[in-house]
DNA sequence: ATTCTTACA
DNA sequence: TGTAAGAA
């Protein structure tokens, strides 16, 4: 890939032509200062699952890097991986309910 | 050179 | 969690 993080494994004529920055596991590891093995485990534990591309290599988007920052903060505070999974699950649920309230606010 | 998976201490 | 072997 291009070391500048501009590699996008999804070709497509209709693609919105934006060069979305993607990062390899190595780049993310040095950026967040965590071992690559930990990133792979977060993937296996279904906590942060990056896209894959080329030869099945992980490609992290900025959004996933942000999610990684949240997760690392939690684990640093002592939350276990199963715990983190539940926190993220609850966070998704809260977002869902917030959107629902927003909708109801619109109709009435 | 890097990353991937699987396995082991 | 960290590290190693072997394939990609």
Whether the per-residue pLDDT at A14 is higher than 50: the answer is no
For residue A11, what pLDDT band results from cuts at 50, 70 and 90?
A: very low
Domains in chain A (CATH in brackets) are: 25-107 (1.10.1660.10)
| Per-residue burial over A9-21, b = 16 or more CB atoms within 10 Å of its CB, e = otherwise | eeeeeeeeeeeee
**Which tokens hold the place of A106?**
């619109």
| Nucleotides in chain C with any atom closer than 7 Å to protein CB | 1-4, 8
State how far the Cα of A103 lies from the Cα of A97, in Å rounded to an integer.
10
SS3 state at A58: strand
Within 13 Å of residue A16, how many CA atoms lie on the same side as its CB?
2
CA of A85 vs C1' of C8, distance in Å? 31
CA of A37 vs C1' of B9, distance in Å? 16
Mean pLDDT of the region A5-33: 73
For residue A10, what pLDDT band results from cuts at 50, 70 and 90?
A: very low
**Which tokens hold the place of A28?**
């993310």
CA of A81 vs C1' of B9, distance in Å? 22
Tens of pLDDT along A29-79?
A: 999 999 999 999 999 999 999 999 889 999 999 999 999 999 999 999 999
CA of A6 vs C1' of C1, distance in Å? 32
Tens of pLDDT along A84-95?
A: 999 999 999 999
State pTM to two decimals.
Answer: 0.81
Residue nearest to nucleotide B4 (CA to C1'): A57
The nucleotide minimizing the C1' distance to residue A36's CA is B3
DSSP secondary structure, A62-91, as one string: HHHHHHHHHHHHHHHTT--HHHHHHHHHHH
């Amino acid at each position: 890939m291009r070391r500048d993080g501009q590699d996008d494994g999804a070709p497509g004529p209709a693609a919105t032509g934006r060069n979305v920055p993607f990062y390899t596991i190595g780049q993310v590891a040095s950026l967040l200062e965590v071992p690559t093995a930990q990133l792979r485990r977060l993937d296996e534990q279904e906590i942060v699952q990056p896209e894959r591309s080329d030869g099945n290599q992980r490609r992290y988007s900025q959004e996933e890097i942000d999610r990684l920052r949240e997760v690392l903060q939690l684990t640093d505070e002592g939350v276990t991986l199963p715990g983190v999974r539940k926190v993220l699950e609850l966070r998704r649920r809260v977002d869902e309910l917030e959107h629902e309230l927003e909708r109801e606010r619109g109709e009435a």
